[in-house]
Structure 1
């Protein structure tokens, strides 16, 4: 069964790399949370897939949990806070929009992988906090970059803020802070859910 798990993980990696291909050609797109976390998920799944097939060392539990969490965040934010993808604007590969790969397909596949292919009862309760370290770092990067290069894009018109719900220019700093706090709270709740699922699941992987 480890071969099935390995191929599944390599498929996730492949979709992540296809979904992020545009950013490899346009560096300013790496500002997007989706591209950053999609690339990390891809490399992690490449590692996990190869380890499954070759009986090698799997990614650490902390890393595997982190990429699963941020894949979930990507999917939920895309569903709740972002407009539908425009096929006239978003690149397509094999008839599938790259955003669909990163916002929907790979997050679902990553969650399935976590539930079926990972050993469980490995997460420490501290992970629910340490997993969130990336979020303030990313937000600080966005703000500092916007202050230094206010017309650098990648959003329309050179707007340096990649998402409307964290656009400090449009929202004002008060609402920006509120949105960031709500985002952090939502991420923490998802981290807790992931931790609880890990404690409930059997130690031995169901598949792989």
Structure 2
């Protein structure tokens, strides 16, 4: 893997370190209940490994990266559609907000578009990627509905997001949000699969 090929992954790692540090310091570990933080930590771990280990490109690596990419894209779109309209002016302009909700996802999708080889995704691959958000949703619901663990400064506490707050929106409301978010996720994932079947996307991967 050439030095040039490492530029984007290195920028992603730097962005994640800045965003996560601002979010977690000092003593804000309750932030780890949010999908935003967990998906960005996943991105940090993957791209830090990419920079340090410089693995040989392979089909399995491309598939894993596809899962990581869709996970952070979901963060971007859910924030854009559901959370940004409810954010205060002060919340919106925070460094960590831009780093984790905008800059990191855009850099990740850019890296994916430029460097991931086409032809490695199988038709069912996007279905397996849904495991990550489904695990998170299960965790968030059990944490809130069963253990009632409070989240400091969160209006939806003990749930991390208003669209998971079954005490307020009920199971029917939760079901509607769940179906909508899952549909968005699968549209993103299958859109990625379709793009990687196009003739010119991912053309740089083999050259570096």
User: Shorter-normalised TM-score: what interval?
Assistant: 0.7 to 0.9
In the other structure, the counterpart of 1:57 is: 56
1:35 to 15, 34, 37: 37
Residues 186-207 of structure 1 deviation map (CA, whole Å, 9 limit, x = unaligned): 1111110011111215464267
In the other structure, the counterpart of 1:76 is: 77
Residues 27-53 of structure 1 deviation map (CA, whole Å, 9 limit, x = unaligned): 22111110000011111111223355x
Residues 97-149 of structure 1 deviation map (CA, whole Å, 9 limit, x = unaligned): 10111111111111110011222221111211000011221111111111233
- Separation in 1 of the partners of 2:65 and 2:199? 15
TM-score, length of structure 1 as denominator length:
0.85
2:193 to 192, 195, 208: 195
TM-score, length of structure 2 as denominator length:
0.85
- Separation in 2 of the partners of 1:86 and 1:13? 27
Tell me whether 35-44 or 78-87 shows the greater mean CA deviation: 78-87
CA, structure 1 residues 121+158, in 2 after alignment: closer, same or farther (shift >3 Å)? closer
Structure 1 segments unaligned to the other structure (5+ residues): none
RMSD: 2.4
CA, structure 1 residues 77+196, in 2 after alignment: closer, same or farther (shift >3 Å)? same
In the other structure, the counterpart of 1:131 is: 129
How much does 1:77 deviate?
Answer: 1.0
How much does 1:162 deviate?
Answer: 1.2
SS in 2 for 1:159: coil
Tell me whether 171-180 or 24-33 shows the greater mean CA deviation: 24-33
